[in-house]
């Protein structure tokens, strides 16, 4: 596992000369916004010496912000360690090479998507976010005087490639990029029948008698579901299930520690601890849909606001982990879903006649078809408009992670952002080296010399040192151009 040297880490944690400069004599910007590698350098010049210099590069996340790890799991960035698996902006699993913390004083922006505000996330103002600005899209127009959202033609939207935009430069109505996992690994042991039974277990399953009995509970009116579970249990386990009636509930059960252990390891136990194994999360979506179908039967319903509306599927659960995994599975099937959290469920305590008493309760909803689209999918990612941007001042630790390979990105609650620990440390060292030098001396600084100051860095981060030198060169050229124009006017 690669480790940065102490000098570079010290500059990352306490960067020198980081931020924008008022009224600079020269500004240099270098990089590629499509991949997120962008740096800006600002210089002040006095008597042909660089009297002050600042740089602006990639941001960080507050410690409690959650990133996507493994398949369909969120974890606070402060808890993520070296060697962990995270998903990058292509939906591919990659490794965390390193983690870093630094002090930060300044604005934190919270980006709230129009659909599924549960997926809102917070970043420092200069953090690059993969996005499409509305103004980049041709033929965008307001939909009506009442609705302030802009209408777009989907084909025009998909002509625009997402680029990394600093969070502070995003506006309401711009599109965030939500990326589902692209990894698929089928397993012959998970037949269609088995995954259907797992779906029923998620909704209605539990164990009793010291983990020796596998049980499913249904309202006695749900005869079709009861019959299917009986049939599935017999086909899969070879055991004839028994049943008993308790008031209005029919309990179906088999005695088997082996199968209790299997379902617990595959789908968890207790309502608020239900979660799916990685094997399930990697199955082809066709199989996952079998599971979702039976899970919706147990813990969900189908709703229409109006008779002619497309149906909305809704599922409620006490498990935060499970609702996140369901959102991820649906996204793999090209279905974007919305999550809501209810801390007080008194007004929403019944689903299909069954009382729900869990607090908090998580509800996920989705449609298979829509007349009006706010979220757009091209089959590889979803474009989700920003509904609101909150801003607050913050002082404390912020975190970043180093990702193996390219693209240098990871997912914050499903949305793609850039990462680069090296860029901040390298730029801080460069600016300290340059300050006080003459313009001619600054021009002679090379990438090779900078790397001697920086120490060893991973090959994939070599470009950070190149960006620093290039952005400095552009800032000097900008200064010289302004000076030349000023002299011409005189």
CATH number at residue 279: 3.10.28.10
- Report CA dihedral (157, 163, 168, 172) to the nearest 10 degrees: 10
Specify whether 40 is located in the same domain as 107: no
Mean pLDDT of 101-128: 91
Contact assessment for residue 319 and residue 364, using Cβ atoms and an 8 Å cutoff: no
Q: What is the pLDDT of residue 267?
A: 96
Q: What is the pLDDT of residue 350?
A: 41
- Note the helical H segments in 251-396: 257-267, 278-281, 285-299, 320-332
Specify whether 367 is located in the same domain as 409: no
Contact assessment for residue 471 and residue 55, using Cβ atoms and an 8 Å cutoff: yes
Is the torsion defined by CA of 194, 199, 204, 209 positive or negative?
positive
Stretch (H or E) spanning 362: strand 361-366
Confidence of residue 126 (pLDDT cuts 50, 70, 90): confident
Q: What is the pLDDT of residue 420?
A: 63
Nearest-angstrom CA–CA distance, 296 and 293: 5
Query: Who has greater pLDDT, 142 or 480?
Result: 480
Specify whether 309 is located in the same domain as 356: yes
Pairing of strands 66-69, 73-76: antiparallel
Beta bridge partners of 87: 93
Let me know if residue 181 belongs to a domain. no
Domain coverage including residue 126: 66-173+393-416
Pairing of strands 300-303, 312-317: antiparallel
Specify whether 254 is located in the same domain as 333: yes
Specify whether 168 is located in the same domain as 196: no
Q: Read off the CATH number of the domain in which 450 is found.
A: 3.90.1010.10
Last residue of a domain, one of 377, 404, 432: 377
Render pLDDT for 376-416 as a digit per residue (tens, 0 to 9): 999 999 999 999 999 999 999 998 887 777 777 899 999 99
Q: What is the pLDDT of residue 353?
A: 40
**Model pTM score:** 0.81
Render pLDDT for 43-100 as a digit per residue (tens, 0 to 9): 999 999 999 999 876 668 999 999 999 878 999 999 998 889 999 999 999 988 777 7
Chain mean pLDDT for the chain: 87
Query: Could you tell me what percent of the chain has a pLDDT over 70?
Result: 89
Mean pLDDT of 214-237: 95
What's the structural domain count of the chain? 3
- Report CA dihedral (103, 105, 106, 112) to the nearest 10 degrees: 50
């Amino acid at each position: 596992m690669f480790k940065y040297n102490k000098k570079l880490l010290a500059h990352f944690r306490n960067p020198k000369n980081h931020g924008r400069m008022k009224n600079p004599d020269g500004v240099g910007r270098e990089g590629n916004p499509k991949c997120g590698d962008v740096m800006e350098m600002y210089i002040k010049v006095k008597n042909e010496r660089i009297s002050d210099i600042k740089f602006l590069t990639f941001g960080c996340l507050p410690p409690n912000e959650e990133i996507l790890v493994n398949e369909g799991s969120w974890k606070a960035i402060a808890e993520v360690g070296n060697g962990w698996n995270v998903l990058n902006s292509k939906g591919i699993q990659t490794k965390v090479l390193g983690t870093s913390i630094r002090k930060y004083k300044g604005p934190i922006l919270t980006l709230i998507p129009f659909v599924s505000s549960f997926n809102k996330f917070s970043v420092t103002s200069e953090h690059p976010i993969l996005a499409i600005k509305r103004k980049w899209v041709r033929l965008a127009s307001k939909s009506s005087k009442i609705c302030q959202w802009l209408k777009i033609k989907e084909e025009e939207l998909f002509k625009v490639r997402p680029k990394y935009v600093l969070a502070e430069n995003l506006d309401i109505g711009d599109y965030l990029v939500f990326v589902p996992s692209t990894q698929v690994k089928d397993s012959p042991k998970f037949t269609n029948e088995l995954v259907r039974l797992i779906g029923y277990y998620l909704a209605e399953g539990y164990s009793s008698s010291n983990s020796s009995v596998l049980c499913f509970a249904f309202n006695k009116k749900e005869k079709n579901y009861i019959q299917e579970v009986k049939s599935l249990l017999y086909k899969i386990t070879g055991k004839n299930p028994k049943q008993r009636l308790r008031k209005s509930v029919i309990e179906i059960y088999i005695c088997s520690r082996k199968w209790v252990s299997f379902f617990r390891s595959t789908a968890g136990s207790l309502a608020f601890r239900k979660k799916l194994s990685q094997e399930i999360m990697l199955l082809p979506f066709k199989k996952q849909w079998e599971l979702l179908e039976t899970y919706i039967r147990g813990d969900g319903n189908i709703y229409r606001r109006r008779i002619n509306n497309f149906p909305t599927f809704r599922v409620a659960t006490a498990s935060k982990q499970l609702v996140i995994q369901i959102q991820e599975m649906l996204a793999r099937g090209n279905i974007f879903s919305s999550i809501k959290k209810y801390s007080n469920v008194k007004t929403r305590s019944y689903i299909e006649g069954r009382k729900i008493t869990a607090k908090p309760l998580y509800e996920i909803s989705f449609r298979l078809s829509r007349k009006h689209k706010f979220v757009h999918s091209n089959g590889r990612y979803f474009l989700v408009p920003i509904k609101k941007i909150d801003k607050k001042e913050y002082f404390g630790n912020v975190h970043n992670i180093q990702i193996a390979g390219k693209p240098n990105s990871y997912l914050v609650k499903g949305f793609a952002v850039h990462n680069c620990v090296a860029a901040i440390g390298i730029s801080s060292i460069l600016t300290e080296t340059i300050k006080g030098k003459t313009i001619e001396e600054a021009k002679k600084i090379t990438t090779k010399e900078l790397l001697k100051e920086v120490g060893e860095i991973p090959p994939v981060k070599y470009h950070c040192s190149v960006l620093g030198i290039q952005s400095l060169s552009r800032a000097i050229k900008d200064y010289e151009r302004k000076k030349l124009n000023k002299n011409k006017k005189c």
